[in-house]
Chain A
Amino acid sequence: MPSDPGERVAEHVLEFPGGYTRTTGPVIGRFLTELREGRVVGVRTAEGRVLVPPLEYDPATGEPVTGEYVPVGPAGTVQAWAWVGTPRKAHPLDRPFAWALVKLDGADTALLHAVDAAGPKAMRPGLRVRPRWKPEGERVGHVTDIACFVPEVTTMAAPIRTEYRVRPGQSLARFLRGVGDGVFVAGRCARCDKVYVPYRTTCPECGSTIDEERELPGTGTVTTFAINNLPDPRAPEVPFVSAYIQLDGADVPMIALLGDVPAHQARQGMRVRAVWVPPEERTASMTDIRWFAPTGEPDADL
């Protein structure tokens, strides 16, 4: 049975041994010679425009160009670009890149070349780029002597890290010991007759030393609150309610998480009590208070 001619495949390569020679002519030859030296030049037309890459003639008029070579660049501006997501073997870069028309500073025409950019979002018309040259010894007088263009530097990473060793002060330490024991320790200013919680040793109103400690019950009233629709590592879910809770017997509110109630059922005036984590899990820090939960009592008048 004769085989199907469609199944027969052969590879056929046409490659002139050693490669074609391409005579550059004086103008392009000058351009490539300068490239080998790590410079870019254009040529001036009779009308005064600078062509990059240069030509022997003005493409607009057909007139010969002048003999004036003009240094341009090395920086330039992207005019248009196309993203190459899957580079091919013959492409100048082995990772995704952009083909771009780059108008070098001082030129009136644009040069087509590759731009090594982080991704298509990094490309835009107007992007400023500079050549990344091949090392001098590897330059041969070819447009690939410029390996590619790269964006100019506009931002840099500034990693900064500051490490602190934080100790609670005397008054906060006293308060947190209380929290570890499941009680709120407050301080009463004898002069103002005001009770502050967390416990503190000076009065923010009059500056007096506070030396009277009081233990407050874990009950209080929500004076006001926010429903937060942004995630926070300290909150179990979104949305969460951060509430101003005035503990019974205190004259200042504390800000704390409200729990065991849907966020949109929180109310100003709601009566709440602290929900503590089990004693064996406590660390004498604010996280020992899981949250405040409604007591079910009638709302307080504000």
Chain B
Amino acid sequence: MGNRCAVIGVGQTAYRTRRQDVSIAGLVREAALRALEDAGLTFRDIDAVVIGKAPDLFEGVMMPEAYLADALGASGKPMTRVHTAGSVGGSTALVGASLIQGGVHERVLVVAFEKQSESNATWALSTHLPFNASLVVGAGGYFAPHIREYMRRSGAPEHVGTLVAVKDRRNALLNPYAHLRIPGIDRAMVEATPMLWEPIRYLETCPSSDGACAMVLAAEHKVTGTPAWVHGTAMRSEPIFRAGRDTVNPQGGKDCAADVYRQAGVTDPRREIDVAEVYVPFSWYEPMWLENLGFAAEGEGWKVTESGATALDGDIPWNASGGVLSSNPIGASGLIRFAEAALQVRGLAGEHQVDGARRALGHAYGGGAQFFAMWIVGSDRP
């Protein structure tokens, strides 16, 4: 795994439908400056910048990394753009970590953002290429059939998705950065919302958000303050149309989890991990990923959700921050998972802190559930 690496600063913007008070550059700077402030550093102390975001079509700014380099203090320094669709925030953190682990740099700033209000994500994801009638309408249109197949295979009752939608939004009420904050959210409220891409209801989907997140990563001899140590990092990808590909329980996700657990010495994730921030943009992906990530046996994930184990007071809280279901600046959503995992083991998660969290999983997936990025961070130096 290379040299030791730790998170020494985390910065987030408020996630909102429209951040009309800031430009794209102002948005990423808001997160970056907060991460630097948390680390007690300035741009001068940073060796390299890694930036991630989802497709350029979302804002219509081609190669925004070129325009944002000086906004992020990267003049005269290496700047790298990462793009792995929805998992990009996670991949961005891991590319940054690899620069430390490989001994190339001592301090790296990683930043990810999306300003979805500049256009419309469903439009940008439904480009209707000539000759091709794929008939997929937005991300929900793509994922709904796989959720239906999960429900068929597992026999999960229909209300399980509702439980996740309520749980994550209740957690969001404890997170001042969260976008969707719905006081009094309950099952009846979720079930009263219409089906968009059946079996996905309106309140079982993530919002469209503007926002950015940043972290300062440091080599061991540059660690200051309360660090979150990186215990393991892994990425996997797989082709979207491969014969026999399991779209409900993708092999790439299983392999990625096995790799990150091996590095961190985790053999039983449900027992040995204290809190997980997992990319759940549609509520049913919680039980699906519980199985894919080995927190539950195949077909049993919905029972873990139904038991309340993934609630903030459960034995394995998932998405204490409110998760992607509550805040979704797409390109940043993965990095927010990784950053929230770091905040938990640093004891700095505020009202949604999981008591005594010492080891946390950050997870992101993207594309047609074909790109995976994960890390495990801990309060102990590995």
Q: Which residues of A contact B (CB under 8 A)?
A: 154-155, 158, 160, 166, 168, 172, 176, 192, 194-196, 204-205, 223-230, 232-235, 239, 242-244, 251-252, 255-257, 268, 285-287, 289, 302
CA distance A172 to B129 in the complex (A): 13
Asked if A302 contacts B152 (CB within 8 A), the reply is yes
Q: Once the chains are docked, how many angstroms separate the CA of A196 from the CA of B242?
A: 8
User: Which of chain A's residues has its CB closest to B149's CB?
Assistant: A224
The answer to whether the Cβ of B144 comes within 8 Å of any Cβ in the partner chain is yes
Whether B242 and A268, one on each chain, are in contact in the complex, defined by CB atoms closer than 8 angstroms, is no
Provide the residues of chain A in CB contact with B144, threshold 8 Å: 226-228
Determine the chain B residues whose CB is within 8 A of the CB of A244 once the complex forms. 145
How far, in Å, is B293 (CB) from chain A's closest CB? 22
B29-37, B157-165, B193-201: which lies at the interface? B193-201
Contact of A228 among B134, B141, B194 (CB under 8 A): B141
Closest residue of A by beta carbon distance from B152: A268
A228 touches B243 (CB 8 A): no
A225 to B134, CA, bound (A): 13
B114 to chain A, nearest CB (A): 16
The answer to whether A176 and B131 have CB atoms under 8 Å apart is yes
The one of A155, A224, A255 that contacts B135, using a Cβ cutoff of 8 Å: A255
Asked if B135 contacts A235 (CB within 8 A), the reply is: yes
CA distance A256 to B197 in the complex (A): 15
Residues 110-162 of B at the A interface (beta carbon under 8 Å): 118, 122, 126, 128-138, 140-141, 144-146, 148-149, 152
| B76 interface residue (CB < 8 Å to A) | no
Contact B130 A166 (CB under 8 A): yes
Q: What are the residues of chain A within 8 A of B195 when measuring CB–CB?
A: 227, 229
The answer to whether A228 touches B20 (Cβ under 8 A) is no
A226 contacts B145, C-beta separation under 8 Å: yes
- Bound complex: CA A195 to CA B244 (Å): 11
Q: Which chain B residues border A252 with CB–CB below 8 Å? A: 241-243, 245
User: A172 — nearest CB in chain B belongs to which residue?
Assistant: B131
User: Is B103 in the interface zone, CB < 8 Å from A?
Assistant: no
Decide: A226 and B198 in contact? CB cutoff 8 A. yes
Q: Are A225 and B241 in contact (CB under 8 A)?
A: no
Residues on B with beta carbons closer than 8 Å to the beta carbon of A285? 130-131, 133
The number of chain B residues with a CB under 8 A from chain A is: 37
Query: In whole angstroms, what is the CA distance A214 to B130 when docked?
Result: 24
Residue from the list A194, A255, A268, A287 in contact with B243, Cβ < 8 A: A194
Query: Shortest distance in angstroms between B304's beta carbon and chain A's nearest beta carbon?
Result: 23
- Of the candidates A225, A228, A230, the one having the most CB atoms from chain B within 10 angstroms of its own CB is A228
B60 adjacent to chain A (CB < 8 Å): yes
The chain B residues found within 8 Å of chain A, CB to CB, are: 20-21, 60, 118, 122, 126, 128-138, 140-141, 144-146, 148-149, 152, 194-198, 200, 239, 241-245
Can you name 8 A-B pairs with beta carbons within 8 Å? A176-B131, A224-B149, A226-B145, A228-B197, A234-B128, A235-B135, A255-B135, A287-B133
Residue in A closest to B240 when the chains form the complex, CB atoms: A204
Which of A192, A226, A302 is close to B197, meaning CB atoms less than 8 Å apart? Answer: A226
Closest 4 CB pairs of A and B: A226-B144, A286-B133, A251-B243, A227-B198
In the bound complex, what is the Cα–Cα distance between A192 and B242 (angstroms)?
A: 11
Q: Which residues of A contact B200 (CB under 8 A)?
A: 226
Contacts of B132 in A (CB 8 A): 286
Bound-state CA distance A229–B137 (Å) is 10
4 extra A-B contacts, CB within 8 A, seeds A228-B196, A255-B136: A226-B140, A226-B144, A226-B148, A234-B135
- B244's partner among A224, A227, A251 (CB-CB below 8 A) is A251
Interface residue from B20, B135, B140, B198 paired with A256 (Cβ < 8 Å): B135
Known: A205-B242, A229-B197, A230-B196. A242 touches B131 (CB 8 A): no
- Interface centre among A204, A226, A243, A289, by most chain B C-beta atoms within 10 angstroms, is A226
Chain B positions within 8 Å of A154 at CB level: 20-21
In angstroms, Cα B30 to Cα A5, docked, is 75
Of A224, A285, A286, A287, which is in contact with the most chain B CB atoms at under 10 Å from its CB?
A: A224
Q: How far is the CB of A188 from chain B (nearest CB, A)?
A: 10
Asked if B60 and A158 sit within 8 Å, CB to CB, the answer is yes
| Residue pair B243, A196 in contact (C-beta under 8 Å) | yes
* A residues near B141, Cβ cutoff 8 Å: 226, 228, 230, 242
Checking A192, A195, A232 against B137 with a beta-carbon cut-off of 8 angstroms, the contacting residue is A232
Chain B residues, CB < 8 A from A230: 122, 137-138, 141, 196-197
A268 touches B148 (CB 8 A): yes
Q: Which chain B positions have C-beta within 8 A of A205? A: 239, 242-243
- Complex: A226 Cα to B197 Cα, angstroms: 6
Q: Are A224 and B148 in contact (CB under 8 A)?
A: yes
Partner of A192, one of B122, B145, B241, B243: B243
The answer on a CB contact under 8 Å between A229 and B198 is yes
Contacts of B198 in A (CB 8 A): 226-229, 239
Q: How far is the CB of A287 from chain B (nearest CB, A)?
A: 6
Q: Are B60 and A229 in contact (CB under 8 A)?
A: no
CB-based nearest A residue for B239: A204
Chain B contacts for A166, CB-based, 8 A? 129-131
Contacting pair B241 A204 (CB below 8 A): yes
- B residues less than 8 Å from A172 (CB atoms): 131
Instruction: Find chain A residues with CB under 8 A from B145 CB.
Output: 224-226, 242-244
In the complex, what's the smallest C-beta–C-beta distance from B27 to chain A, in angstroms?
Answer: 14
